[in-house]
Structure 1
Amino acid sequence: MIQGKIIKFHRELQVLKQIDLGEGICSKTHISKIERGLTEVSEETIELLAKRLRIDMKAEINTYLSLDLLLKEWHESIILKLNSKAESIKKQLEGIVLLQLPDFYRSYTLILTRYYLLIGEYTLAESLIEEMDSWHELTPYDQNMVLHIKGKFSLDHQKEYNDAISYLKKIDLTYYNNSEYYYDLAIAYQCMDSRVLAYYYANKALYFFTKSHSFTRIIETEMLMLIQVEQEEYFDPKDSGYPRLIEMADNLGLDDQKAKLLHNYAYQQFRYGYYDKAFEYYKQVLKIREPSHSQYLVSLEGYLNAATKLGLTSDTELLRLAKEGFTLANKLKDTMFTHYFQLHLYKIQNQKEQYYHYLEAEVYPYFKKMGYGLATETYEIKLFDYYMEIGEVELANKYALPILEKYRKNNELV
């Protein structure tokens, strides 16, 4: 009985004993049965109890009945990255005390954690994840949502891609009707430099977002698939799908997606040696992004790379950009970009010995430990070239061996 749950909730909220609530209305035993839904009760008794609790019972019942749908709508807005709608619903929910009822509390907490992950409030998300670890007897749906949340937290904040994949691969869609997690798996595999699996899971995510008519997520997923395709040896940059996706994002007013596309298009141009185009696209991204944005550092580092390659920017300006990035990375406690910008600082100041010492002692071990495949291989090659250049063949071979082992074939030829 909904009325009984509401009465019990408000009684406990007001720290009232059953005997005090029922005084002059009904017995303590009757209150206990009402709260547990074990007895029929007259409307008159309900109204008297509601009046003593200073609540409008009809309004409370209507709120109770609407909460499931409102929570579902909030979760869907987060999945589809409708940030304004998600924020609006969150504000609507904040004044509803009935969310503390056991019927809603766990669902609300899970979706609130997803919201914090959406907007980058990782400290708040982490505290709720810690609370979840003390929960018992979760429903199968809640168990799977916890796995998704932990996977996203490992992926988006901790950059622990192996952990992210471990969590996400345990999700069972039999109990969890949210195929969005395929996108997170694709991102994790991309970061592990596993392009085939990244494309595979991105394609599954694209099917889900297409059915959901989510242009925001469709654009993001197509971009992720394009990243995998463009890294193939025979890809022709003239066939790039970025201009089409950038135009689509621009027409839809999706600034965040447009910035992501411009950034990736800039990176593509950089990889093919078109440093002037890369420089311009990175510059456009920095005009869209605020320094507080989580992806600002990524584009700033790309912009600095392109500016360095072009050779048209003074060392003073390059040094200023590198210091800006290093300071911001430290402020955000972003270890990866702290390393990147420190390397830039050494490189701009022609401190070659310090550059390679720092690369070998700090940067390379970090990327290897974190499982960043592409970065690890890139720095193995850099260290191999460096030691070959100074005649340290044994040390050079140390860094060549992991790459050789990766590509070693099991088949033997005569």
Structure 2
Amino acid sequence: MYEGKIIKFYREKYKLTQEQLGKDICSITHISKIECNQTTYSSEIISLLSKRLGINMELEVKKLKNIKQSLVHWHDAIIMQLIEDMEQINSELEREELIEISEYRFMYQLLRARYLLMKNRAHEAIKIIQQIQKIQNKLTPNESNLLKHVLGIYYLEKQDFLKAIQTLKEIQNEFYNNSEYYYHLAIAYCTLQSPVLTYYYAEKSHQFFKDMNNYLRVIDAEMLMIIQVEDDDGNEEIIYRFKKLIKSCELCNATDRKAKVLHNLAVEYFRRKNYEQASEFYKQSMSLKNPESPVYLLSLEGFIRSSFDGDLIANDQLIQHAEDGLMIAIRIKQLLYIHLFKLLLFLLKYKEKEYHQYLLNKALPMFIKSGYTYLIKRSKKELFHYYANNNLPDKALEMAHLLINA
């Protein structure tokens, strides 16, 4: 079974005809039938053909059989975010030529796309996804659902959260044993400000990661769950849970996750109007992040807003921070943060009219297109108050209707 596929692969690799390969060994017809697995053949024939091709058939068969196991281990390493294992297996698979003739070649391509998305190489991942979409009818049920999962992650990466939800909810559990996709659904719903569904899917993913003894991903899911809990009484339970999570990150030496928890703790303090603590935790989060990244800009924007609202830092310093943020956003081509830092600069320079014009004409349409529910709601409230305070009742009423309908 495997020998024929391997012989054909190496014959074509070395640009040999069936006649050239079989000369003084066997007929062209016999070679053709061996390659198509349509006949029995002696071990002596296989040995002679292997010798002519310069391969060890026993080793090649073993390599072909091991591809599935390598892919399973690679998928597990990706789910568990075991970076060293993930990179090592990726390097091994990149050197494995026999993937081309393996029955798991489509699974490899899909996991390759998933790997590229983790490496922030979405433009390469979508090319693979589009190629696989052309031959969807050839996929196994597991591969078909893996395609939906990878595509859903791609939509998350491109900040198309509605498409991400639509795609991820098409996954059929009976054919797909990776409940990690619940976490990606939770991320999408969280961005769209849907706390009940976020908590529901985060809790399901939390249990999945717990069953895998994957404590890093347990931290991810638990953080999503915490930030959905509304605490209008201002008690310390949520703060305690955040700080406990920070300790867990430190025990696991998970610096990137600690940065996320610190950011969300800052958001909680900002919500409580404790701007001094918010500013401090935003700053701590920024110190653990790559300055040339969207996640850094997210914390920087929060740091500037909390410092401004709490009157903690001189305005000229905040303007400098905002200008630095805008330059980074332009450099790394992050349209969302280009809008946010331009708005901040209008705010910090007390250009009220320009702020609201830019918000209405530039920023809000982009927020709506990308589905940033929190920013949409915040923007409409700001516009409503601006129109109401400037004696523009018709526009204020229009914005009020949009808020009510939303």
TM range (shorter): over 0.9
In the TM superposition, what is the alpha-carbon distance from 1:158 to its structure 2 partner?
A: 1.3
Quote the RMSD (CA, aligned, Å): 1.5
C-alpha separation in 2, matches of 1:208 and 1:154: 23
In the TM superposition, what is the alpha-carbon distance from 1:405 to its structure 2 partner?
A: 2.9
- Describe the SS at the equivalent of 1:377: helix
The answer for the alignment partner of 1:317 in structure 2 is: 317
C-alpha separation in 1, matches of 2:291 and 2:162: 29
Provide Cα deviations, 1:196-239, integer angstroms capped at 9, x if missing partner: 1111111111111111110011000000000101x354463444
In the TM superposition, what is the alpha-carbon distance from 1:97 to its structure 2 partner?
A: 0.6
In the TM superposition, what is the alpha-carbon distance from 1:102 to its structure 2 partner?
A: 4.3
In the TM superposition, what is the alpha-carbon distance from 1:28 to its structure 2 partner?
A: 1.1
In the TM superposition, what is the alpha-carbon distance from 1:368 to its structure 2 partner?
A: 2.0
| Runs (5+) with no aligned partner, structure 1 | 407-414
C-alpha separation in 1, matches of 2:68 and 2:49: 25
C-alpha separation in 2, matches of 1:391 and 1:329: 35
The normalised TM-score by structure 1 is: 0.94
For structure 1, which segment, 310-319 or 43-52, has the greater mean C-alpha deviation from structure 2 after superposition? 310-319
- Go from structure 1 to structure 2 and tell me whether the alpha carbon gap of 1:24 and 1:136 turns closer, same or farther (over 3 Å shift): farther
- Describe the SS at the equivalent of 2:227: helix
- Go from structure 1 to structure 2 and tell me whether the alpha carbon gap of 1:97 and 1:235 turns closer, same or farther (over 3 Å shift): farther
Provide Cα deviations, 1:169-200, integer angstroms capped at 9, x if missing partner: 10001111111101111111111111111111
In the TM superposition, what is the alpha-carbon distance from 1:294 to its structure 2 partner?
A: 4.1
Matched, 1:168 2:200: no
Note the 1:210-229 alignment, pairs <5 A.
210-229=210-229
C-alpha separation in 1, matches of 2:200 and 2:318: 39
C-alpha separation in 1, matches of 2:116 and 2:236: 37
Note the 1:299-314 alignment, pairs <5 A.
299-314=299-314
The answer for the alignment partner of 1:412 in structure 2 is: none
| Residue type at the aligned position of 2:247 | E
In the TM superposition, what is the alpha-carbon distance from 1:305 to its structure 2 partner?
A: 1.7
The answer for the alignment partner of 2:246 in structure 1 is: 246
| Residue type at the aligned position of 1:149 | V
The answer for the alignment partner of 2:385 in structure 1 is: 385
| Residue type at the aligned position of 1:290 | N
For structure 1, which segment, 42-51 or 74-83, has the greater mean C-alpha deviation from structure 2 after superposition? 42-51
C-alpha separation in 1, matches of 2:130 and 2:320: 40
In the TM superposition, what is the alpha-carbon distance from 1:133 to its structure 2 partner?
A: 2.3
The answer for the alignment partner of 2:143 in structure 1 is: 142
- Go from structure 1 to structure 2 and tell me whether the alpha carbon gap of 1:294 and 1:84 turns closer, same or farther (over 3 Å shift): farther
The answer for the alignment partner of 2:27 in structure 1 is: 27
Provide Cα deviations, 1:146-169, integer angstroms capped at 9, x if missing partner: 1111111101x2111110011001
CA contact (8 A) 2:231 2:238 kept: no
C-alpha separation in 2, matches of 1:302 and 1:175: 42
The normalised TM-score by structure 2 is: 0.96
| Residue type at the aligned position of 1:120 | N
For structure 1, which segment, 187-196 or 131-140, has the greater mean C-alpha deviation from structure 2 after superposition? 131-140
C-alpha separation in 1, matches of 2:237 and 2:141: 48
C-alpha separation in 2, matches of 1:134 and 1:195: 36
Provide Cα deviations, 1:236-266, integer angstroms capped at 9, x if missing partner: 3444310001001101101111111111111
The answer for the alignment partner of 2:208 in structure 1 is: 208
Identity %: 36
The answer for the alignment partner of 1:409 in structure 2 is: none
In the TM superposition, what is the alpha-carbon distance from 1:44 to its structure 2 partner?
A: 2.0
For structure 1, which segment, 303-312 or 103-112, has the greater mean C-alpha deviation from structure 2 after superposition? 303-312
| Residue type at the aligned position of 1:203 | E
| Residue type at the aligned position of 2:398 | K
- Go from structure 1 to structure 2 and tell me whether the alpha carbon gap of 1:399 and 1:237 turns closer, same or farther (over 3 Å shift): farther
CA contact (8 A) 2:293 2:332 kept: no
Q: How many residues align?
A: 404
C-alpha separation in 2, matches of 1:332 and 1:128: 24
| Residue type at the aligned position of 1:256 | D
